[in-house]
């Protein structure tokens, strides 16, 4: 058990399982983008651990950048996505690999889709470690999914509850 603020969480996905999924995603990304010098675009804060692991396993030239988005208060999404830190490099005509820790409602993807269209990227693909099919209600394709999970609140491996839990190496679900 882990207690963060006022809530208890129980073990859900082990670090070993997470690393196996990351190895599988990385193998596919190396095949699909190995000679294209893509820009990996991590969505902060949650994707920092996932992004680090993916990029360490990418065997060709690449660049990395980050955007910071926010939509959660406590355990609930506000439905209102804010750009807290925007793009800091020119992505016009580039292949972008968007790295998300989790895709649930898809509201963040809609906001990032607009940002990338304005940036005139050649193309982008969405890669997520965790995907909640029951919560996802948008039309933006998610090409690379690590694990489908139920619509439960999770923490660890970059995901937080009001700022706590991001440093946990495995994933916990709300008890």
How many Å is the maximal CA-CA distance in the chain?
Answer: 48
Residue found by looking up tokens 């990395």 in the block: 64
Q: For residue 92, how many C-alpha atoms fall within 13 Å in the half-sphere facing its CB?
A: 2
> β-strand 123-131 against 39-44: which pairing, if any?
unpaired
Measure CA 119 to chain center: 20
6 given a catalytic annotation: no
The neighbour count for residue 38, using CB atoms within 10 Å, is 24
Catalytic entry in 90, 104, 113, 162: 104
Report DSSP state, residue 51.
Answer: H
Which residue, among 102, 116, 83, 110, has the nearest Cα to 152 in the 3D structure? 102
Which residues form the catalytic set?
Answer: 104
């Amino acid at each position: 058990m882990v207690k963060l603020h006022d809530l208890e969480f129980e073990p859900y996905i082990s670090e070993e399982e997470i690393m196996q999924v990351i190895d599988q995603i990385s193998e596919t990304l190396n095949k699909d983008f190995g000679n294209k010098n893509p820009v990996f675009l991590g969505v902060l804060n949650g994707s920092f651990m996932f992004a680090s692991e993916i990029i360490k396993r990418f065997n060709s030239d690449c660049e990395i950048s980050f955007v910071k988005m926010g939509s959660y208060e406590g355990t609930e999404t506000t439905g209102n996505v804010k750009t807290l830190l925007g793009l800091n490099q020119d992505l016009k005509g580039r292949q972008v690999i968007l790295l998300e820790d989790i895709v649930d409602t898809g509201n963040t993807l809609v906001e990032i889709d607009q940002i990338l269209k304005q940036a005139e990227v050649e193309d982008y693909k969405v890669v997520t470690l965790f995907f909640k099919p029951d919560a996802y209600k948008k039309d933006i394709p998610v090409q690379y999914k690590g694990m489908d999970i139920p619509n439960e609140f999770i923490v660890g491996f970059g995901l937080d509850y009001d700022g706590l839990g991001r440093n946990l190496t495995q994933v916990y679900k709300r008890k």
